[in-house]
Structure 1
């Protein structure tokens, strides 16, 4: 199977050669304010080099259109892992937003004209993620598709459970299934962590500015949840944890 073959390549490579690259939005990206994306603390839990190329305000569509994913690909070598996580900025209609994908899960498209006059053929979220996966595979890299994380206020009425995830969580899983690559349900593992902490210890405590962007403390919780997810699904990256990563309690549900 293609996925297993590429995993074998990565595991056979030396730890110093293999690296992790990350594509996503502000919930993953490095920040210099009172908020932080989870990709920054995630690096301390991995024995591999981590290059965080997430960019605030981007969707799967705009990250592609602006050439950010092409720039990431230029840094991918055979055996490298590429973590791809979008969804927070992907809602809306392509006719009114330059970040929104076309509705649907297949090859549907919508042709729009951007404010600068550029004509763009807009694809579905699933197609954008599948295209990213295909491009990483073509470089000999190993894609890891992940679902978006919950907002701080994404709780049920009783504030006891994280609410039903948005459609992009399922779309990310579908893209992973279509391409036969690894999927980490980051939404689920963060939900497990938040529910363990309880509503009052999550929101607004870990979200100083709004319901989307975490504080450094919150980012660390989200990063630890991703590590927990890697371990729970038995992903090979769980074999490359630092001592701090190995110390994260494994909580699977």
Structure 2
């Protein structure tokens, strides 16, 4: 069975039950694929640097096989100023992304670069701001320079958020009233992380691009144009989430 490995941060990772309805697009990929195993190694808070330095890329490279895909999506946390996460867009960030590309190719696997979804940031006049700066462009330029397929989730999300507008876009993000969810009793206004509707459509876009670019056999896809109820999204039991977080790490950084 062909496999798709996912490397990224919180916008990609499969969330645990205690974080619902917050979700990552990686946990919706199965809804559009068949005969393909999705191995979601993304972790909340991870940058391209920290994911590499903590042995998470090494674990993927220890387990990936010829013909598998490696989808790589970073940028949100590479912007963070603290040591161990920050990487400058056109130097360290591209340097670390090359490790994912080169590591996958050395094992006969196929890397794919994905600029992450934009945050929900609107000004007082209803204009959407692009808070990720030049990080998406750094990914685009690297993809072109090393001839790696690119799936531009960032541009897709910018267009979608702008179309929805400042108020309607709240329904896609984790905006909850007090008492609406037992996991967020005081309510929450999160402009970074998505609810099921958001991750379903992001996963649909990525799957469509995988199909359009011929990165998987056409028979590997399903439901590309079907309505998918939000109830189809499932979350990991917290103990399973913790186990996967701790176990998908290699002590030997490659």
Both structures adopt the same fold (TM-score exceeding 0.5): yes
Give every structure 1 segment of 4 or more consecutive aligned residues whose post-TM-superposition deviation is greater than 4 Å: none
Residues 1:151 and 2:119 aligned together = yes
Where 2:65 maps in the other structure, the secondary structure is: coil
Aligned 8 A contact 1:42 1:223 in 2: yes
Aligned 8 A contact 1:130 1:176 in 2: no
Q: Where do 5+ consecutive residues of structure 1 fail to align?
A: 1-16, 107-123, 249-253
Deviation at 1:90, TM superposition (A): 0.5
Cα distance 1:81–1:240, how it changes in 2: closer, same or farther (>3 A)? Answer: farther
Deviations 1:3-36 (A, max 9, x none): xxxxxxxxxxxxxx21111000011101121200
Where 2:192 maps in the other structure, the secondary structure is: coil
Deviation at 1:143, TM superposition (A): 0.3
Match of 2:90 in 1: 105
Choose the corresponding residue for 2:213, options 208, 229, 234. 234
Residues 1:21 and 2:9 aligned together = no
Residues 1:174 and 2:141 aligned together = yes
Supply the distance in 2 between the matched residues of 1:142 and 1:218 (Cα, whole angstroms): 26
Match of 1:42 in 2: 29
Supply the distance in 2 between the matched residues of 1:166 and 1:104 (Cα, whole angstroms): 9
Deviation at 1:234, TM superposition (A): 2.9
Where 1:182 maps in the other structure, the secondary structure is: coil
Deviation at 1:203, TM superposition (A): 2.1
Choose the corresponding residue for 2:203, options 194, 215, 223. 223
Deviations 1:132-167 (A, max 9, x none): 1000000000000010111122x4654255647521
Supply the distance in 1 between the matched residues of 2:167 and 2:208 (Cα, whole angstroms): 22
Aligned 8 A contact 2:119 2:131 in 1: no
Match of 1:141 in 2: 109
Choose the corresponding residue for 2:78, options 61, 72, 90. 90
Supply the distance in 2 between the matched residues of 1:222 and 1:202 (Cα, whole angstroms): 14
Deviation at 1:246, TM superposition (A): 4.4
Supply the distance in 2 between the matched residues of 1:56 and 1:172 (Cα, whole angstroms): 20
Aligned 8 A contact 1:156 1:163 in 2: no
Cα distance 1:236–1:170, how it changes in 2: closer, same or farther (>3 A)? Answer: same
Please give the root-mean-square deviation of Cα atoms over the aligned residues, in Å: 2.3
TM-score after normalising by structure 2: 0.74
Cα distance 1:240–1:40, how it changes in 2: closer, same or farther (>3 A)? Answer: farther
Supply the distance in 1 between the matched residues of 2:221 and 2:199 (Cα, whole angstroms): 18
Match of 2:235 in 1: none
Supply the distance in 2 between the matched residues of 1:175 and 1:240 (Cα, whole angstroms): 30
Residues 1:213 and 2:193 aligned together = yes
Deviation at 1:92, TM superposition (A): 4.0
